[in-house]
Structure 1
Amino acid sequence: MPLKLIRTKRTSEEDLQRFKADQEDFEWLVRHSREIEEQSKGKYIAVVNKEVFVGDSFEEAEQKAKAKYPERDPYVEFIPLKPRVMVL
């Protein structure tokens, strides 16, 4: 599901570029989710610039990503040991 940008005020070119980069990272993560989940069970992952950083905690994964890409805010997620089943 693509992210949508809703403009409520004038958006700078820098903000638009950041949004596009975040959207590309999210879409890349969705496409590669199975392989990432298999390799990262029970860990936190941070994604920046289509690169995965793995840590035992949220902070560790985020810090690894920020060390390489300090200007970006990584997308961080926990990968459970077992798949979650959601019943709607």
Structure 2
Amino acid sequence: MAVARVRERAARSTATLVPIIGPRNLPQLDSYLAALDVQLTDEQYARLDKVSAVPLGVPHEGIAGSLRHLQGGDASSIITRVVPVA
């Protein structure tokens, strides 16, 4: 599921994301390759995104809290892009 999620995230991203796999045996390789057949729906992807979110902490939470004021009101009209973190 993790490899399928990374593949889906790559498809939705403006940056190139490549899942790196490291199977230790043939069954693990088969499991990784099975991810090529998994198609996530928008709902499944959103749910996986939500449960895997990591709280950013200080100063990011403070900045996120002030975005409404910085963006002139309705922050929901701003589209944020996925930015890979190296």
> Which TM-score band (shorter chain)?
under 0.3
The two structures have a TM-score, normalised by structure 1, of: 0.27
The structure with the largest helix share of the pair is 2
Which of 1 and 2 has greater Rg? 2
**TM-score scaled by length of structure 2:** 0.28
Q: Name which structure has the greater RCO, CA cutoff 8 Å, separation 6+.
A: 2
